[in-house]
Structure 1
Amino acid sequence: MKKIITMLSLGFAISAHANIEKQLDTIYANEKMTMALFFPSEIKQGITGSENFVFTYNREKEQNLGLLKAVKGNHSNLLVLTTDGKVYSYILQYAEHIENPNRFITLDESIGDAKRVLKKEVKSQKEAQKDSISVNASQDLLRRACEALLKLPQEENIRKKNGNVILSLKNLKYQGDNVFLQFEINNKSRVRFDFDYLHIFKVNGNKKRNASYQELALQPVYIFNEPERIFPNTKVQFVYVLPKFTLAENEKMEVRLQEKETTRGVVLNWR
């Protein structure tokens, strides 16, 4: 998380008028309900300060909706940057009961504008070296970490088969503020599998009991070697990198693999 915040501070800083002190509102969340936050503009980046709070948003197609969930733990904070350059900051707190799971953020709640500026502070050589890591460099680090993961021994073999298509989780590694998930698709059929999507969720409850069932989509920060198609009798391995997350007592992971324009798909679950 420190690396992400450092990278964010590199490219952006709050403009002068945002230096006026502004009391931050508190947003409450828990593991039972999903708090939906609707911002005036599409979300560009969102960061929480503690791992017991998880903030997700669509990283592939910019949208103004963000989803917040939490497990019991210390207070934290949420920092959100929107595509129009506005910055929003809130205190996060766990609450057993939430009266309204929806909040529409107004423009006047912004604490300032994000603009590219040069750092005026004199920093040590070590600090300057850390801050010089660009977004492209961080992507390169993730790419190399994924390449290294694919060369490691496989420590997991959680698999689910649907017809002649098998989806497996081969490795799950925590590294810093990220979780690396190594997947394998084994197409044992005689027909090519055209990859559409692979979605990852934290799930609480049972679908057969709709009142108690909840799911939270986890958006990857990086995807490595994702296939477009898997030819007959062929295996393909790839890696999804997610922000670090935790599972509550009654939660489990669910991965949904789907093929384009067909009903072929696999749902993989694990705890």
Structure 2
Amino acid sequence: MRRLFLILLLATLGNISSAQEPQQLDTLYANEKMNLAIFFPTNIRQGIVGANNFVFSYNRERAQPLGLLKATKGNQSNLLVVTTDGKVYSYVIKYADSLKEMNRFVSFSESIGHVHQRESLVIRDTIQMDSNMVVHKQYPKAFLVKSSEAMLEQPERKNIFKRKEGVSLAIKNMVYFEDLVFMQFEIKNESGIDFDIDYLKVAMVIGNEKRRASYQSVPLKPQYVYKMPEKTRHAETSRFVYVLPKFTLGDNEKLELRLKELKGNRELILRRRL
């Protein structure tokens, strides 16, 4: 998770310039029993935590100034938030059994820097940077590989699955980042027969496939596929990542996955709202 935080931080903000005087960061406290509501002066564009025992949630579809921080017991970490006006806010975050404050109103003066129109950051904090991790909008393969690796290390946040004839297909995690969606899949084979994979297709669908007049399908072609196996043997579990273009589902739309066996008749179709 720490690697994913660094990768996504650099990918979001571009090249980082640091000034000479580092700034002392405020500390926010959170736990699993209550939300710490954080109100920023302007709407949130992106928020990232550095450890998976913290969760920072905000409205990714329609920008709002409110973010919610929760935590389970574990090591302290950090929270970085970029607002739509380009302001950058950074905090140390810690777990606490009880919260002294449940609402935090952030002022403009707490910003540690801002994002220029060129996507470069002027920041008063000193951040160690690996030049190999600097990423731009082209999303080079090294970025996609490292982000996918980190995705597989994250805890499961979803368990949307379809099981048929001893083979199951599941969505285990999903992360939106800029104009991409990182989606982690799992194939589990308990059928007694190896499952050779022909393809896994992803699409947005509306209507009923049996009523062709109302059925529509929009394929989502992955921009990168990480560690997808050629086969899943009996008693094996395979996990891999698709990097898809960003999508949102309308009121009547569903996400559809089609997993087809190579030189066989087995096919799993998972169609679900997320």
Q: TM-score, normalised by structure 1?
A: 0.51
2:256 corresponding residue in structure 1: 236
2:75 corresponding residue in structure 1: 74
Verify the 8 A CA contact 2:183 2:244 in the aligned structure 1: no
2:9 corresponding residue in structure 1: 5
The within-5 A match list for 1:120-199 is 128=131, 130-131=133-134, 133-137=135-139, 141=144, 158=161, 170-173=169-172, 180=184, 187=208, 192=214
Given residue 237 of structure 1, which amino acid in structure 2 is its aligned partner? L
Given residue 40 of structure 2, which amino acid in structure 1 is its aligned partner? F
In 1, distance between residues paired with 2:24 and 2:245? 38
Cα shift at 1:181:
5.7
In 1, distance between residues paired with 2:74 and 2:216? 42
Given residue 31 of structure 1, which amino acid in structure 2 is its aligned partner? E
1:103 corresponding residue in structure 2: 104
How many residue pairs get matched?
A: 183
Cα-to-partner distance string for 1:170-204 (whole Å, 9 max, x where unaligned): 32356999652689989488695899xxxxxxxxx
Verify the 8 A CA contact 2:38 2:105 in the aligned structure 1: yes
In 2, distance between residues paired with 1:99 and 1:193? 53
Cα-to-partner distance string for 1:110-147 (whole Å, 9 max, x where unaligned): 1222334599xxxxxxx65542x3234279959xx8xx
Unaligned runs of 5+ in 1: 120-126, 146-155, 160-168, 196-220, 239-255, 258-267
2:35 corresponding residue in structure 1: 34
SS state of the match for residue 14, structure 2?
helix
In 1, distance between residues paired with 2:43 and 2:174? 29
2:239 corresponding residue in structure 1: none
Cα-to-partner distance string for 1:50-86 (whole Å, 9 max, x where unaligned): 1111112122222111111111100001111112222
In 2, distance between residues paired with 1:67 and 1:54? 8
Cα shift at 1:87:
1.4
Cα-to-partner distance string for 1:9-43 (whole Å, 9 max, x where unaligned): 524545x4xx5333211101111111111000111
SS state of the match for residue 11, structure 2?
helix
Given residue 236 of structure 1, which amino acid in structure 2 is its aligned partner? E
1:24 corresponding residue in structure 2: 25
Q: Identity of aligned pairs, percent?
A: 38
Verify the 8 A CA contact 1:12 1:114 in the aligned structure 2: no
In 2, distance between residues paired with 1:59 and 1:108? 25
In 2, distance between residues paired with 1:91 and 1:235? 37
In 2, distance between residues paired with 1:43 and 1:118? 16
Verify the 8 A CA contact 1:193 1:230 in the aligned structure 2: no
In 1, distance between residues paired with 2:8 and 2:57? 15
In 2, distance between residues paired with 1:22 and 1:235? 45
In 2, distance between residues paired with 1:28 and 1:74? 12
In 1, distance between residues paired with 2:52 and 2:255? 34
Verify the 8 A CA contact 2:13 2:120 in the aligned structure 1: no
Verify the 8 A CA contact 1:89 1:111 in the aligned structure 2: yes
SS state of the match for residue 135, structure 1?
coil
The within-5 A match list for 1:200-215 is none
In 2, distance between residues paired with 1:193 and 1:99? 53
SS state of the match for residue 8, structure 1?
helix
In 1, distance between residues paired with 2:183 and 2:161? 17
TM-aligned CA distance change 1:89 to 1:137, over 3 Å: same
In 1, distance between residues paired with 2:43 and 2:121? 26
In 2, distance between residues paired with 1:138 and 1:56? 27
In 2, distance between residues paired with 1:67 and 1:118? 25
Q: TM-score, normalised by structure 2?
A: 0.51
